[in-house]
Structures are given as structure tokens and as C-alpha cells.
Amino acid sequence: MILAMAIGITCFAAESNFSDEKIFVDSNQYTYITSAVKDNANSTPEVKITAIYDANKNDSDYRQIYVRGTSIGTSILVSKGSWVEVPIPSGANRVGNNILLYGKGHKPSLDCYVSGYWNAH
């Protein structure tokens, strides 16, 4: 969320940059990572996971997680370092909709933390 202090209004960004954060991702169920607001109804959101850390927030050799846009979206396997389109349900593809990104670990026994970008366009 970007706060416009000068005029006292709140607006939302089409991209969420969580590259300086370490967001928890459960290994067995989808957990909320971040959100961004759609600014174009004719585009597909994209995610880029820039880093995946182990359950203690240390560097790891983990390479992939599952993501989905919205809690009922299609699951997509994402490899660290690549931009990937994440389809969302047609009802969510409207300008101004806040699109939530969820993630789940690639292996059921490995909770992790992630950093990256979520671009709802």
C-alpha cells in the first residue's frame, strides 16, 4: 500500500515488492504471501520469487514453491528467479480488485520463507 501523505488518501499499487522481506510459506497448505491491485483487466498477474529460505530464515537450496492468485486460483509451480504468469479466476480479473497471492512449499516436509515480487498489472 502506498500512502499519499500530502493529500491524505490511500491508494494501492499494482505491484507488491516483498523482495526485502521473508514471508512464511507453509509446506502443507496455502498461506497468504502478499497482495496487489489489478490496474488492467486484460492482463495476467505475474510472480517472481527471488529467494527461498529454510524454516529458520537461513539461505537454502530450495528452488520451487507452488503459488496461486486468490484462494481458489489454479496452482502453479514457480522456480526461483523466473517471472511466471499466475492465472486468476475470471471474476477476479477486474480493474481495482485486490488480488491475493498464496504460496505452499514444494515438498510437504519443508516449511520455508520467500521473497520476491507480485505484479497484478
Q: What is the pLDDT of residues 21-40, one digit of tens each?
A: 999 999 999 999 999 999 99
Are 20 and 114 a contacting pair, CB within 8 Å? no
All 3 cell numbers of residue 78?
Answer: 514457480
Q: Is the pTM of this model over 0.95?
A: no
Confidence bin at 12 (pLDDT 50/70/90): low
Are 34 and 19 a contacting pair, CB within 8 Å? no
**For residue 18, pLDDT beyond 80:** yes
Q: What are the residues facing 90 on neighbouring strands?
A: none
pLDDT in tens, 40-97: 998 999 999 999 999 999 999 999 999 999 999 999 999 999 999 999 999 999 999 9
**For residue 7, pLDDT beyond 50:** no
Closest CA to 78 of 93, 63, 61, 92: 63
